[in-house]
Structure 1
Amino acid sequence: MMKAPVGGAKHQLLPSCSILALLAAFALPTQVQAQVATPPLTRAGTTISNTASATFDTGGGSTTINSNQVDLLVDELLDVTVDSSNPADVPTTPGATGQVLTFSVTNTGNGVENFALSTIANAGGDNYDPVVTQIYIDNGDGIFDPNTDTLYTPGANDPELDPDESVTIFVVATTPGAVVDGNRGIVSLIAAAVTGTGAPGTSFAGQGEGGGDAVVGSTGADGTDAGAFIVSAATVTLVKSAVVTNPLGTADPIPGATITYTIVATVAGSGAVSGLAITDNVPADTSYLAGSITLGGVAQSDGVDADAGDYNGTRINVALGTVAGGQTRTVTFRTTIN
């Protein structure tokens, strides 16, 4: 005889979690949120017209009448944004001139507007103050060239921008000579609507494009953004040592002894030095040992040729070229004591 289930009740098979989830998916309506494009701002000076109508029947048939027309002149909204176009801090060196930061100025208002440009280089939060020398308006190619870009003169050629139009601005600065490797200098560019700035909602009667008012937007009608220079400098230290050997097998500097000079140039910092060369005069009372110049352990010829070293009869010279920070160069040469 089959036994009854425990408790006397029949067990029912429950649906699995995956089946429940599937049922829930079919049971709940799927909501798809449509992407609605933001329409462009209505141009300042545009007239918005509207007329109402009414239709009625007095017993003699349907009649339609119109109201008076209401016209509204769209005011000019004064808004602007400024964005740094430098993906990272711009490298510079102590005393460097003609250092460039790049910015983009965009008219985010709804009317044509001129924008006055200015800079701040001493706001703090950095290690030094770059010295701003010029501001240039790009000719449209996005590449700084003082020969083809326009030098900005405040009040004389404030850039005029249509709605949504952008212009590239170059800020040119000099790096003080006293800065050191790793120092950072910040410059901010400010663009302000020539018509006026102020708290959002501030209105300038009759000064908008098309004869309406000009109204300050959410940006205050002035925008700002900062760019930064980073000092990438290098320093060179030179250490010279000498080892003496003689025919007697001692280290005494006696006549006939050989002196091996070792010169180590160390470049430190995040930058690089160019045109680095090591020169050493052969000491008096000694004679240069021909063919003894080495660079990094590699023999150098005495003539001026393809390798880095040479000897001109009084001194040795080794041209090292460009050397980046964190690297060393070792030069050796030998003389004999007369």
Structure 2
Amino acid sequence: MDTANSTFASAFAWTRRCTYLCLFSLISAPAGAVGTAVGTVIENTAVVNYDLAGTPLTLQSNTTTVAVAERINVTVTLQSPQTPVAPGDSARALLFTVTNTGNGSETFQLAIDSLIAGDDFDPTPAVPGIYFDTDGSGDFNAGDQPYTPGSNDPDLLADESISIFLVNDIPGGLANGLTGRSQLTATSATGTGAPGTVFGGQGDGGVNAVIGSTGGEAQDTGEYLVSDVQVSVTKAQLVSDPFGGSEPVPGATLTYTIVVTVNSPGTATASTIRDAIPVFTTYVPNSITLNGAALSDLADTDEGEFDTSGTPAVVVRLGDLTQALGAQTVEFQVAID
């Protein structure tokens, strides 16, 4: 083989090998919601195959390595719908989730701001005004742990979320229909800045930390609505298994009880309960009751129906509710598949 052909063959072999290596790296890279984990070592070695005087030879380059840096990102998401309140209410909570959308563990500092422009009144943050949803119920209660800045800042793994309550008191003397807002901010304890800002050696394991697209902090805002009608709704379940016990085994029946109560003067007009049938269960036909009276599954003249037009759901039209009517109790059953 002459020199020109040998050079061409070697170059072709190297190119083909390099192309294979590059393609292999692309399809082998781990993927996930937050990207490759911080500290992951990426290695690459090139191999050249060539012939010398008819003898096939292989030459291996040095290996390059790089440890993946930490990318700092966070999101804050309001979970509560617009929350009805009465003038003078105390300790009214809004529920949020804080999610570490970076690729490493990160500590976040939390802050409440109830002086938000564009609303009608300013709620007054309770002392303290931020709590963890300790029991995971989604309802603010006495067992929820207060947040103390610098003491119990949440430390979240990559893609981990935590539920947070903002708790405010509502001023007295407010007119019906006014709104007040409260905002939760989560800020990376490592730092904030424009995307691409580098904090040398401050990532997990001593790698660099790099600010991602969120700038290292995020906010979301909840809203209170002053209403002359205060409505509460609670839900309970009772498990009955086929063996006379209360274990949630396949074939067991879940009886759901929903209680709606008006707790103030005024009228909650056109009140309707809609409760989607949970996945992994099947609705028990003709099991709907309202205040102990059976309702049919059909969309007929009574208050209830089993609606299958979209996601299967139990629908009960309670109509206009007042405090004088007392609690309205709806029950229905599903069977575990």
Work out whether the TM-score is over 0.5. yes
* 1:130 counterpart residue number: 123
Partner of 2:196: 201
CA deviation after TM superposition for structure 1 residue 60, in Å: 5.0
> Paired residue for 2:95, among 102, 119, 127?
102
Match of 2:177?
Answer: 182
**SS at structure 1 position matched to 2:205:** helix
TM-score using structure 1 length: 0.58
Deviation at 1:38, TM superposition (A): 6.2
Q: Are 1:191 and 2:186 matched, yes or no?
A: yes
SS where residue 109 of structure 1 aligns? coil
Three-state SS of the structure 2 residue aligned to 1:210 is helix
Aligned to 2:148: 153
1:93-132 per-residue CA deviation (whole Å, 9 max, x = no partner) reads 1110010100011111000001110011112111100111
Equivalent-residue separation in structure 1 for 2:192 and 2:62 (angstroms)? 37
The 8 Å contact of residues 91 and 168 in structure 2, kept in 1 or not, is answered as yes
Is 1:67 aligned with 2:68?
A: no
Which has the larger Rg? 1
Counting only pairs closer than 5 Å after superposition, residues 165-176 of structure 1 correspond to structure 2 as: 165-176=160-171
Over 4 Å off, 4+ runs: none
Name the amino acid aligned to 1:104.
Answer: T
Q: Does 1:49 align with 2:43?
A: yes
CA distance in 2 between partners of 1:188 and 1:59 (Å): 75
Check whether the contact 2:140–2:165 (CA below 8 A) recurs between aligned residues: no
What is aligned with 1:272?
264
Give the secondary-structure state (helix, strand or coil) at the position aligned to 1:272: coil
Whole-angstrom CA distance in 1 between matches of 2:56 and 2:91: 79
Over 3 Å counting, the alpha-carbon distance change for 1:70 and 1:38 in structure 2 is: closer
Name the Cα RMSD after superposition: 2.2
Asked if the contact 2:135–2:143 (Cα under 8 Å) also holds between the matched residues in 1, the reply is: no
* Structure 1 alignment gaps of length 5 or more: 1-36, 235-269, 275-320, 325-338
Q: With the length of structure 2 as denominator, give the TM-score of the two structures.
A: 0.58
Query: Could you say if the C-alpha distance between residues 99 and 193 of structure 1 is closer, same or farther in structure 2, counting changes exceeding 3 Å?
Result: same
CA distance 1:38–1:117, shift in 2 (3 Å) = same
For 1:231 and 1:73, locate their aligned partners in 2 and report how far apart those are by CA, in whole Å. Answer: 53
Hey, which of these two has a bigger chunk of helix by percent?
2
* SS across alignment from 2:165: strand
Asked whether the 8 Å contact 1:46–1:210 carries over to 2, the reply is no
Matches within 5 A, 1:1-338: 39-40=32-33, 41-59=35-53, 61-86=55-80, 88-133=81-126, 134-139=129-134, 141-233=136-228, 272-273=264-265, 322-323=323-324
- Alignment-mate amino acid for residue 107 of structure 2: N
1:145 CA displacement = 4.3
Give the Cα–Cα distance (whole angstroms) in 2 for the partners of residues 102 and 188 of structure 1. 11
CA distance in 2 between counterparts of 1:181 and 1:157 reads 38
Measured in 1, the distance between the counterparts of 2:37 and 2:98 equals 19
CA–CA separation in structure 2 for the residues paired with 1:323 and 1:121? 35
Q: CA deviation at 1:155?
A: 1.0
